[in-house]
């Protein structure tokens, strides 16, 4: 069952400084946001679509403009449900965790096969 909600946010925009922003949201039966439509004038992305796994963890976020996919970001999780990796067209991030379940390191690169340029510990 899908539920729909709509919100209109009024405030300055980058294009004209006065155009209101308008978004429509859709949710799945578990309350997860499945889509966001931006009907604001001059929106660079007018549709966001989210998919989830059986544990309600986001798997993919797709950004589109006029029905054409512009970018997609994918998320993977380890067996404990912790974020393992984020794959975006411009960046890949891989996370490791310590004994207390806190993030121990983040490896960032252009892709999963990149030589790791940065590791934060």
Enclosing H/E stretch for 61: strand 58-65
**What's the confidence (pLDDT) of residue 115?**
67
Q: What is the DSSP letter of 20?
A: P
Going by pLDDT thresholds of 50, 70 and 90, the confidence category of residue 8 is very low
pTM summary value:
0.77
Is 55 buried (19+), middle (13-18) or exposed (0-12) by CB count in 10 A?
A: exposed
Which structure tokens are listed for 103? Answer: 């993030």
Which structure tokens are listed for 16? Answer: 């004209």
CB-hemisphere CA count at 13 Å for 17? 0
Which structure tokens are listed for 102? Answer: 């806190």
């Amino acid at each position: 069952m899908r539920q729909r909600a709509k919100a209109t946010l009024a405030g300055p925009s980058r294009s004209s400084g006065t155009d209101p922003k308008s978004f429509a949201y859709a949710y799945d039966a578990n309350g997860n946001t499945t889509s966001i439509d931006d009907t604001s004038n001059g929106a660079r992305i007018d549709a966001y679509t989210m998919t989830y796994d059986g544990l309600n963890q986001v798997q993919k976020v797709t950004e589109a403009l006029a029905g054409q996919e512009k970018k997609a970001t994918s998320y993977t999780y380890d067996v404990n449900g912790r974020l393992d990796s984020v794959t975006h067209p411009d960046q890949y991030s891989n996370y490791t965790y310590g004994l207390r379940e806190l993030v121990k390191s983040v490896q960032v690169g252009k892709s999963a096969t990149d030589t790791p340029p940065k590791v934060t510990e």
